[in-house]
Amino acid sequence: MVDLRGRDFLKLLDYSPEEIKYLIRRAETLKKQKHNNESHRYLKGKQIAMIFEKDSTRTRCAFEAGAHDLGMEATYLGPTGSQMGKKETIEDTARVLSRMYDGIEYRGFGQDVVEELAKYSDIPVWNGLTNEFHPTQMLADMMTVYENFGKLSGLKLVFCGDTRNNVGNSLMVVCAKLGMHFVACAPREVWPDENLVLECRRICEETGGSIDMDEDIMKATKDADVLYTDVWVSMGEAQELWEKRINLLKPYQINMDVVKNAKPDVIFLHCLPSFHNTGTTIGKEIYEKFGLKEMEVTDEVFESSHSKVFDEAENRLHTIKAVMLETLKDE
């Protein structure tokens, strides 16, 4: 019997395969309730604080709209306007918020910050993305994979691009936990951290999954069930890195040749936001500077029937609700 009451949600290494699958099943029920317009205000009267030291559309909206769906109130603390970090320590902030709220979401920089926040909080703390991990994203991703294949264990997921970023690290962990075959497809210099690879391989010994790294995109993506990519420069990294990353990662773009190399029913996932056209300020700047109209994924793939990115984005809501509900419920 899975019981997550009072637990933090900081990284998936802290969760068992059963607990991860349980949260996904819980999210499926919440999704049905939402679609059927059935009230599910199970956490009525509770309140959450949401700390965002970096930008967000999906994560913020999923926590905020999700809190409201569950009958809660939510307070947004943005990159400016609170004392945290500047005049007040993480420890003191945690102790103050614990006196006023029932749960804390944190998006920011080092994983050590969210871990410290959790250490000094008396209430559940949820990681809404750090430099190292993005665990709530993984629940939505795995829910989307399950919706498409009716299973998780045994599937091959290939992540192309900056494979040692928060999303790459987290995908490797979740695939290991769920017995999937994970391939980090990238030049060696952006392969995931060796210690994390070793830890994930140890997990695979129990789950039947596997972890591989490959510099050859056609070899790596052969017969993939899931193709995944993310931006080449993450939030908090220097803008000057763009040129270097473009040169490094251009050969790892997910285009139709890559899709055709995978299984016929392959799905394409991306945590979003994505540079698949020149419709954004940064996308336009990159085009003007480097002549590139699309980056980690072509517009053709992004808009194709293989692409499930908007189901995936919607599933952020249902899975984040499952995390809040299961960690905050009284009984």
Tokens of 301: 């793939």
- Is residue 166 a contact residue for ligand NVA (CB under 6 A)? yes
Binding letters toward ligand NVA, positions 271-290, x by CB under 6 A: x-------------------
- Is residue 56 a contact residue for ligand CP (CB under 6 A)? yes
How many whole angstroms from its chain centre is CA 107?
Answer: 12
Residue type present at position 86: K
- Is residue 129 a contact residue for ligand CP (CB under 6 A)? yes
144-203: contacts with ligand CP (CB under 6 A):
none
- Is residue 105 a contact residue for ligand NVA (CB under 6 A)? no
End-to-end CA distance of the chain: 13
Q: Name the binder of 315 from ligand NVA, ligand CP, none, CB < 5-8 A by kind.
A: none
Provide the minimum distance between the beta carbon of 257 and ligand CP in the complex, in angstroms, as a whole number: 26
| Active-site pick, 7, 137, 175, 225 | 137
Candidate ranges 14-22, 51-59, 77-85, 279-287; the one touching ligand CP (CB under 6 A): 51-59
The three-state (H, E, C) secondary structure of 166-225, written as one string: HHHHHHHHHHHHCCCEEEEECCHHHCCCHHHHHHHHHHHHHHCCEEEEECCHHHHHCCCC
Which residues, 6 or more positions from 187, have their beta carbon under 8 angstroms from its beta carbon? 215, 248, 249, 252
Respond yes or no on whether the N-terminal peptide bond of residue 264 is cis (omega within 30° of 0). no
Q: Name the binder of 13 from ligand CP, ligand NVA, none, CB < 5-8 A by kind.
A: none
- Look at the chain and count its residues: 331
Query: What residues make contact with ligand CP under the rule CB under 6 A?
Result: 56-59, 129, 137, 271-272
Binding site for ligand NVA (CB under 6 A): 129, 165-167, 230-231, 234-235, 271
